[in-house]
Structure 1
């Protein structure tokens, strides 16, 4: 990354050197213990274009590393140090950069892919300026399916082999029919995959109403709230087989993660609190499908999101039994309200007798 072009570079080395600019633009340090990432020279800030610190160093030590900005236990930012060293606009970026709390080393991640892994295709897209999102691939697949069907129709054969003219209206009508056919096929495949819609479960496998856990299980619903200048709100509710609330957890951190990372952080907080309260058999629920899919598939990656998922899997390995469920938003109302409850920089642990009346009313509505 720091090599020079030289005075008489070969054609191969020149090509590699030219591509290094793309690598520098896409690579970022993921913070673990912070010991190997230099504050002033390495790219490590989340949410910025260059990921490098722009605040003037002033009289600060040039060699300080990110670990010097962390709290004594290395699990959170030292807010006072951050406020002292960085300009106001950059302080929020520092506080929003996730720390991997499982005491791992700092690492490189590829910031141009969701999973943080480097792929040649994403480097190529960056090099040629093609910023088409991966989500657009589904549209490409759909268009290719339609065009292949048109290619095989009599309409195309008549135009190509017989010189027959076909009106634009007729072509549009045929394309519309094919799109409807494709939509119907997709719906049928999805319904078959889910085994049909079962009672209390929609076609995506999500619960459509909150249900009590079986005897001996504690059901834990979690949710996150992210709002500009309002920090990250987390809510978790712990309910027994009768539907009663044993505990409620609410906290508001000085961070503004991406939504999927925030939801994963909420799940991690719910799991850790369950461990702290010595729970052994739990059922975890969230209204974020990305989190459930990543946990159940044990999907690996190098991004902040996958870092949180790894923390969740590690923390949950201490349970005797654990299950993971995706639910609709209306099944997650109590956790949702708790995520809005705390002022920034605070947390609250409630038992069933100290919960706010508004939260109790929402929980009781689940049982009707």
Structure 2
């Protein structure tokens, strides 16, 4: 359970559900997750193949629901290979495993309507508001994360950026919640009054927009996010796809090369400035 400075009261939660409440469905999902992990560990000879397949699958610019369906097909294949004749099921399922990435790539290339993210860009805030994008780079091996935070005005100009490391981080969701708090702190310390916090972490954004008490493992961090509303005249949280959050994503990855906290005012590391300039050029073309 991550620790927060907001000092929330203790509560009993079920960490396998986003709402923190136990249900038969969430219990089934937990058991299915354990089963999937055992499958991967038990098939050491196929681990490299699975990793390559997953890497190619998640990198495709297609709707997430298609990726999830194909992932289930892969898991089903390896589950059956453990309990029945490997050769028999390999013959049955070898076609989808061999051709899955090729077919999905072909679909994406021939039907651009399936790839809306390719046509989406960062959108500047209205009037005098400041948009602060955040993202996190998480290392499961070292239990660390690096937050990338970038604040830009309605002209697309960088106002402030920062990279913040965190230690003893248990999950990617917690890493994203820390990054959201870092975005709020940067906006507060910079003296911005009207702020839009934007990121591609849908769970964190939804919890930030929900005024009801949270009972998930993010409970303490969500309460801290809500408590920081008092520092701003106007504060909104917005979810965007990864392509609209490219600068913050790049900054989070760059943060791994910086020891400790790093902040820049009206400037950024060269690679980040170049990425932000691409967004600004697109904004200028629309005006």
Task: Determine if the TM-score, normalized by the shorter chain, exceeds 0.5.
Answer: yes
- The aligned counterpart of 1:100 is 4
Quote the residue 1:63 is aligned against: none
CA RMSD of aligned residues (A): 3.1
Aligned to 2:246: 333
Of 119, 124, 129, the match for 1:212:
124
| Aligned equivalents of 1:130, 1:211: Cα separation in 2 | 38
Q: 2:31: which partner in 1? A: 131
What is residue 220 of structure 2 aligned with on the other side?
A: 307
| 1:149-175: CA deviation from partner (whole Å, max 9, x where unpaired) | xxxxxxxxxxxxxxxxxxxxxxxxxxx
**Unaligned runs of at least 5 residues, structure 2:** 34-64, 66-112, 282-287
> Superposition pairs for residues 2-81 of structure 1, below 5 Å?
none
Residues 254 and 345, structure 1, Cα contact 8 Å, conserved in 2: no
SS of the aligned residue for 1:247 comes to: strand
TM-score (norm 1): 0.48
Q: Where does structure 1 differ by over 6 angstroms across 4 or more consecutive aligned residues?
A: none
Report the Cα distance in structure 2 between the residues aligned to 1:317 and 1:271, rounded to whole angstroms. 11
Q: Distance in 2 between matches of 1:250 and 1:281?
A: 22
Contact 1:117/1:301 (8 A) holds in 2: no
Q: Give distance in 2, aligned partners of 1:216 and 1:238.
A: 13
Deviation at 1:130, TM superposition (A): 8.4
- Cα deviation, 1:279-327, whole Å, max 9, x if unaligned, reads 1101111011222222223353322223322221211233111222111
Specify which of 262, 265, 269 is matched with residue 351 of structure 1: 265
Choose from 223, 234, 238 the match for 2:147.
Answer: 234
Map of 2:96 onto structure 1: none
User: Structure 2: how far apart are the matches of 1:264 and 1:274?
Assistant: 16
Map of 1:76 onto structure 2: none
Aligned partners of 2:13 and 2:21 also within 8 Å: yes
List alignment gaps of at least 5 residues for structure 1. 1-96, 139-196
More helix by share: 2
Q: Deviations over 1:12-37 (max 9, x none)?
A: xxxxxxxxxxxxxxxxxxxxxxxxxx
Q: Which has the higher contact order (CA 8 A, sep 6+)?
A: 2
Q: Pick from 267, 275, 283 the counterpart of residue 196 of structure 2.
A: 283
Whether the 8 Å contact between 2:161 and 2:265 is mirrored in structure 1 is yes
Shift in Å, 1:107: 3.8
Which structure has the larger Rg?
A: 1
Q: Alignment partner for residue 232 of structure 2, among 297, 319, 322? A: 319
Query: Counterpart in 2 of 1:260?
Result: 173
Checking the alignment, whether the CA contact within 8 Å between 1:251 and 1:345 is kept in structure 2 is no
Is 1:289–1:326's contact at 8 Å kept on the other side of the alignment?
yes
For 1:100 and 1:304, how far apart are their aligned partners in 2? Answer: 12
How many residues of Structure 1 are paired with residues of Structure 2 in the alignment? 200
Q: What's the TM-score once normalised by structure 2's chain length? A: 0.61
- Contact residue 253 and residue 346 of structure 1 kept, 8 A: no
Counterpart for residue 136 of structure 2: 224
SS at match of 1:219: strand
- Residue 367 of structure 1: aligned partner: 280
1:232-269 CA-to-partner distances (Å, cap 9, x unmatched) read 11011011121110100101122333222221221111
Paired residues of 2:129 and 2:194 also in contact (CA < 8 A):
yes
Residues 248 and 350 of structure 1 are in contact (CA less than 8 Å); yes or no, is this contact kept in structure 2? yes
Secondary structure of 2:187's partner? helix
1:273 to 145, 162, 186: 186
Distance 1:352 1:318 in 2: 22
Task: Provide closer, same or farther for how the CA distance between residues 115 and 307 of structure 1 changes in structure 2, counting only shifts above 3 A.
Answer: farther
Q: What does residue range 134-213 of structure 1 map to in structure 2 within 5 Å?
A: 208-213=120-125
Name 1:243's counterpart in structure 2: 156
